[in-house]
Amino acid sequence: MGNLLNAEIFKAVKRPATWIMLVILALIVAAFYAIVYFAVDDPATDLSLRPTEIVNNGYAIGANIASILVIVFAAQLMGSEYGWGTIRALASRASSRSALIVSKLILLAGYTLLTLVVTAAVAIISALVFSAIAGNETSIPGDAWVDYAQAIGRYMLANGVYAVLALVITILSRSTAAGIAGGIALSFLEIAIWEILAAITDVFQTIREYFLGYNVQGLAAAATDQQVDDFDITRGVIIVSVWLIALLAISFYVFRRRDITSG
Amino acid sequence: MTDTLPPKSPDREGLTSPAGASNHRPSGMGDPSAIRGLAPTPVEGNPDAPVLRVTNLTRRFGDITAVNNLTFEVRAGEVLGFLGPNGSGKSTTVSMILGLVRPTSGNVELYGHDVQRNPEVVAKSAGAIIENPAFYPYLSGRDNLRTFAKALGGVSDARVDELLELVRMKDRAGDKYKSYSLGMKQRLGIALTLLQNPGLVILDEPTNGLDPAGQREIRDFIPELARNGHAVLLASHLLHEVENVSDRVVIIRRGEMIQQGRVRDLVRSGGVIEVMVQPDEVAPAVDLIRRVGGVTNIQPGAEEGGIIVSAEPQVGRDINRMLAGQGIFASAVAPKANTLENVFLELTQGSAPGEQESGRRKRRFGRG
């Protein structure tokens, strides 16, 4: 398994898309602070630029964009192997198919974490720089680091589950495009669909609480100051974790059992 | 029973043991040190078992039986030609050998290990190109090999460079794979098959896209692999290529084995007579030749007006008499050395090796 993970990391490090997505993410977060600095009337008093407020501002924006980027990464991770036809060469050189998919999942988890760490780092640096330019306080209190770590943890679960969902769709469809489209569409449309259904009858209001969208949205909001009313974080973590385990089980089952005939 | 399997002494003339492999350098290939590395890495297993044993292998896709009850084996030091028209089940068989496709029944063993139960034995002991070589387009040739070397584990960068030298790709090894010609991709694919010194090397159309010099190099290289102790399974549409380098052949059609044996025996097994008539007389001549006793197959000849008849040499006189009796005077009716191509076409009833079984090629005008 270590050999396969080593190979997966090597491919990811050498792949331009890996770095391009991180650069885009960093630029968007940095641009947010630049825009706020120039847009607000008095940068010296505006809370949006404060390093202590990044989980409500630059980090929240970056983490939501990161959720799309990790969906793209997940779909490419498996879909490209089918698209380029390398899946057969890789699978026949893997110690087992389980080891192959585990190595890809570990890489996916690592990249998901990396996007959130980069987002937090760029948000912190940007906030410090623009706060300094505006003449604000530039120190970061100790408890702010706890907020940062919690925010990374919650978004890790929220973004990770959609990344795994994209991976499952890619394995089922053997298509990068289907994985990206399916992952992004479900991450956005599910919430909208439940909103419509919940407006029809309260039954759907209850049912939606057991699906991904409601809980992921709740977890993401809980990382900021805009918490969803009556949202139980512990219950949300459990439900998202159950979905995550179910999606992982599907990806293992399908990839281990299915013939590798294409590519 | 598990023992470390030593590379077997190949069963052919003029061979060397793997230890002496460095004395044999295939013409046109690179650095001899790379050849030294070609002796297969020993694999734990039954020392008496063949490298590859396929037993009653069957695969059905719904109502379609792609491979039906196929049984054959390849021993160390042997080149087995694996022939069949397109769609005959060759790729499905190779995919089952590599554990990529599950058999409906039957099994595949590498060094006595069932590949379905022990998938790691495939990674350790089989290297293959299936259909076309496939690599990561954004990586260089060297990095592509390094990627698979990392996945396998225990393959050094020095080994990667040796193989790049061997397939004459060292000068372009740093270029992106997507910039390679088909021939260069094929060379890289051959390097990939040898990465872990596998005991079984599966080559599917290895000369596809290579220029004549490159084809010659590969033709020389395949027997060298066998001399070094590798078992080679060679699938190719170029029958003269298979005939030149294979010890034995397996011919399949519609998923079933229709013949297997030593190339020499198969080629000797039937006589061939070449008949030359006027081009506009070919069709009536074929109709007349069909009526002659002892004729088993009729195929178009390489030249215009040529007809290749599968029959014993003495049947030539009857053919000549039949044609002359109907006013067709052949310019030649002569026994000809049989070839694997003739044998193949006769057995597959005219299907060219590159032809889909579902279709029928225009040239076909033989029996059955």
How big is the A-B interface in CB pairs under 8 Å? 81
pLDDT of residue B13: 32
pLDDT of residue B264: 79
pLDDT of residue B1: 38
Q: What span, in angstroms and rounded, lies between the C-alpha atoms of A78 and A112?
A: 15
Mean predicted confidence (pLDDT) in A239-262: 90
pLDDT of residue B274: 86
pLDDT of residue B217: 81
| Residue pLDDT, tens place only, A30-75 | 999 999 888 887 877 777 888 888 888 889 899 999 999 999 999 9
pTM of the entire structure? 0.80
| CB-nearest partner of B119 from A4, A89, A96 | A96
pLDDT of residue B356: 52
| pLDDT by residue, tens only, chain B of 368 residues | 333 433 433 333 322 233 333 333 333 455 434 444 466 776 666 667 899 999 999 999 999 999 999 999 999 999 999 998 888 888 899 999 999 999 999 999 999 999 988 888 998 899 998 878 899 999 999 999 999 999 999 899 999 999 999 888 999 999 999 999 888 898 899 999 999 989 999 998 888 877 888 788 888 888 888 888 899 999 887 788 888 889 999 989 888 998 888 887 777 766 788 899 999 999 999 999 988 888 888 888 778 898 988 888 788 899 999 999 999 999 988 887 777 777 777 777 655 555 555 433 333 333 32
Asked if B119's CB is within 8 angstroms of A97's CB, the reply is: yes
- Within 10 Å of residue B286's Cβ, how many Cβ atoms? 18
Mean predicted confidence (pLDDT) in A179-188: 92
Q: What span, in angstroms and rounded, lies between the C-alpha atoms of A128 and B310?
A: 88
Asked if B152's CB is within 8 angstroms of A93's CB, the reply is: yes
Check: CB of residue B152 under 8 Å from CB of residue A27: no
pLDDT of residue A120: 94
- Give the nearest chain B residue to A97 (CA atoms): B119
Asked if A89's CB is within 8 angstroms of B100's CB, the reply is: no
Residue B273: both structure tokens together: 């007579």
Asked if A6's CB is within 8 angstroms of B95's CB, the reply is: no
Check: CB of residue A4 under 8 Å from CB of residue A94: yes
| CB-nearest partner of A4 from B130, B146, B151 | B151
Chain A interface test: which of B59, B147, B197, B204 (most A C-beta within 10 Å):
B147
Residue matched to tokens 């792949």: A15
β-bridge mates for residue B86, sequence order: B356
Own/partner long-range contacts of B261-264 (Cβ < 8 Å, ≥24 apart)? B263/B81, B263/B340
- Parallel/antiparallel/unpaired status of strands B332-336 and B272-276: antiparallel
**Does residue B359 sit at the A interface (CB-CB below 8 Å)?**
no
- Within 10 Å of residue A259's Cβ, how many Cβ atoms? 13
- Give the nearest chain A residue to B195 (CA atoms): A93
A263 pLDDT above the threshold of 80: no
pLDDT of residue A140: 84
Q: What percent of chain A has pLDDT over 90?
A: 57
Residue B21: both structure tokens together: 């492999």
Say whether B181 sits in a helix, a strand or coil: coil
Residue matched to tokens 């330019």: A133
Residues from chain A that touch B203, judged by Cβ atoms under 8 A, are: none
Q: What span, in angstroms and rounded, lies between the C-alpha atoms of A45 and A49?
A: 9
Task: Report the phi/psi class of residue A214: left, alpha or beta, with left for phi > 0 and alpha for psi in -120 to 50.
Answer: alpha
Interface of B with A in 100-129 (CB under 8 A): 100-102, 119-120, 122-123, 126, 128
Asked if B143's CB is within 8 angstroms of A92's CB, the reply is: no
Q: What span, in angstroms and rounded, lies between the C-alpha atoms of A110 and A73?
A: 11
| CB-nearest partner of B95 from A4, A95, A261 | A261
Asked if A3's CB is within 8 angstroms of B134's CB, the reply is: no
| Residue pLDDT, tens place only, A110-145 | 999 999 999 999 999 999 998 888 887 778 888 889
Asked if B153's CB is within 8 angstroms of A92's CB, the reply is: no
- Within 10 Å of residue B354's Cβ, how many Cβ atoms? 12
Q: What span, in angstroms and rounded, lies between the C-alpha atoms of B91 and B97?
A: 10
Give A58→chain B minimum CA distance, Å: 33
Check: CB of residue B238 under 8 Å from CB of residue B336: no
Asked if A93's CB is within 8 angstroms of B151's CB, the reply is: yes
